Amino acid sequence: MLRVLVRTGTEACRAVSTSSTVLSIPVKKEELSAKEVWERRAKLRIPKLQKDEQLSSKVYFAPEWDLEKKANMDEGFVDPLKGYGMTPEKWEYYNKVVWPPNYIVPETGLPKPKEVFHCKESVHFSPKRMWAACQLVWKMNVDEAITQLDMQQLKGCTLLMETLQKAKKRAADEFHIEFPSQMYVADAFPVQSNIIKGARRHAHENWHTIRYRYIHIFVRLEEGPAPAYKQHHAPKSGWDHMDEYYNYLRSRTVKYSI
């Protein structure tokens, strides 16, 4: 029987039957390698003119975002300059989006992979040093990323490793992903949250301002094999550079020639 997910007024989902009789039609599943999958997804990065874009219809369900609600529980008028950029509330909002079962992305023709969004809030650490740790594990298998971070004797790598372990645990327990070890780190980045200023007294009554920086660590795990490269497009080999150089040589012209 065909079963679909129905979102109720609460946050729970329940399965309901839509028909009593369903014809069993065998569907041949298209088997693609990881290289072919990422070649299809890389085509989405080809720039298009706005008049040539075809927007897909809204087929997902997402709870309404309360614009009057403030994350920090402040009173008064909503200030657009507060809470701009990525916040833990916005990041967790993506986990509440419900897509149809077995949804096929029309741009690629591939099933939409499962995703897990997780954030570690208010960590006393420098955002610049955390950025280096995030770049180390970006687009890497989650188990391999945890192993690599465990071998680095750095505080930032330890904090990021704990964040990935928590995200992987949520994938299995909360989102019921069957094989969380087959996910990769699709996104990992820090955002500075608060700066608490202090003071330090030096000799001759010289006072120096100390800034205690706190950050949020955002990670997104995506199901499937990790890409073979971290850039938007595949890196060019020596043969590709040779072809480009040959094309440049053959396209030369003599200025003011007959």
CATH number for the domain including 104? 3.90.470.10
Decide if 49 is inside a domain. no
Decide if 106 is inside a domain. yes
Decide if 182 is inside a domain. yes
Which one-letter amino acid corresponds to residue 219?
V
Residues present in the chain in total: 258
Decide if 174 is inside a domain. yes
128 pLDDT above the threshold of 80: yes
User: Among 11-15, 39-43, 122-126, where is mean pLDDT lowest?
Assistant: 11-15
Continuous segment of H or E residues that includes residue 17: strand 13-17
* Exposed e or buried b per residue across 217-250, where buried means at least 16 C-beta atoms within 10 angstroms of its C-beta: bbbbbbbbebbeeeeeeeeeeeeeeeeeeeeeee
Extract the tokens encoding 157: 């790598």
Four-residue CA torsion sign, 183, 189, 195, 196: positive
Q: What is the pLDDT of residues 192-228, one digit of tens each?
A: 988 999 999 999 999 999 999 999 999 999 999 999 8
- Mean of per-residue pLDDT scores for the chain: 83
Q: What is the pLDDT of residue 76?
A: 64
Decide if 102 is inside a domain. yes
Who wins on pLDDT, 72 or 194?
A: 194
Decide if 221 is inside a domain. yes
Decide if 10 is inside a domain. no
Q: Nearest CA to 86 among 186, 215, 221?
A: 215
Q: What is the pLDDT of residue 231?
A: 82
Note down the domain range covering 159: 77-230
Report helix, strand or coil for 80.
coil
Which residues, in sequence order, are CB contacts of 15 under 8 Å at separation 6+?
3, 4, 5, 6
Who wins on pLDDT, 145 or 30?
A: 145
Mean pLDDT of 177-184: 93
Largest pairwise CA distance in the chain: 88
The total domain count for the chain is 1
Q: Is the distance from CB of 184 to CB of 220 less than 8 angstroms?
A: no
Decide if 211 is inside a domain. yes
Which one-letter amino acid corresponds to residue 239?
W
Quick one: what percent of the chain has pLDDT higher than 90? 55
Q: Is 76 left (phi over 0), alpha (psi -120 to 50) or beta?
A: left
Local confidence band at 41 (pLDDT 50, 70, 90 cut-offs): confident
- pTM of the predicted model as reported, rounded to 2 decimal places: 0.77
